[in-house]
Amino acid sequence: MAYDRKQTGHEVAQANRPDYRVVVGRAEVPVGEARPFTVLDAERAGTLKAWVATLIPARGRRPDAAEVGAAEYVDATVHEVPALRPALLQAVDRLGSSFSELSAEARESRLRELEAADPEAFGMVRDFTYEAYYGHPRVLEALEAETGWRGRAPIQGSPLDPFDESALARVIALPPRWRSPDVGADQAPPSHAPTLPSPASGEESP
């Protein structure tokens, strides 16, 4: 997860709640996997799906956050960390069961009110939604198609530009620089393994 410690200067909205940035480290919820709701009932799930879709609406090739399972990701995360459930339930109930039926502008207005009234719960859902969304393969593919940015490059690597491989010939020709696992501690290293020089006369070995 993205948050594993409390940020300096952060004030918890309600003293009886744990800081989600600290306790979320106990959750291991893979991004991009299809899953059912386990904490929220159908009505509350509909409200949360409308919430995350309002936070990140569809744009160009990019789907809205509800389409890629961000609401289910939030639900699964608080399922893994029960201490976070009350904050989510209270925030969803504050929005009300009719939230999903409102216009986009009305939903945005209600979310601004929620953010002012309960910034901790709002911030928790916002951060978990961003994590689920911007780590989803479908979103990463859309971003790459639109911008050329490869979000998975650090994991998958990138192709090298063509170059003159003969420039590596000297290095490739060097003998291995490791000890064979078949050579025991009481055996002499193979001839290609480097050996350290013996200490000069009068010097002590380290």
What are the pLDDT digits (tens) for 115-167?
A: 999 999 999 999 999 999 998 888 988 888 877 767 665 555 567 788 888 88
**Which is more confidently placed, 192 or 5?**
192
**Which is more confidently placed, 190 or 96?**
96
Lowest pLDDT segment from 9-18, 72-81, 173-182, 192-201:
192-201
Q: What pLDDT, on a 0 to 100 scale, did the predictor assign at position 190?
A: 53
CA distance 91 to 40: 12
Phi, psi at residue 62, to the nearest 5°?
-85, 130
Rg over alpha carbons for the chain, rounded to the nearest Å, is: 27
Tokens describing residue 193 = 């393994």
For residue 7, pLDDT over 80 is answered with: no
**Which is more confidently placed, 43 or 4?**
43
CB 175, CB 70: distance < 8 Å: no
Global pTM reads 0.66
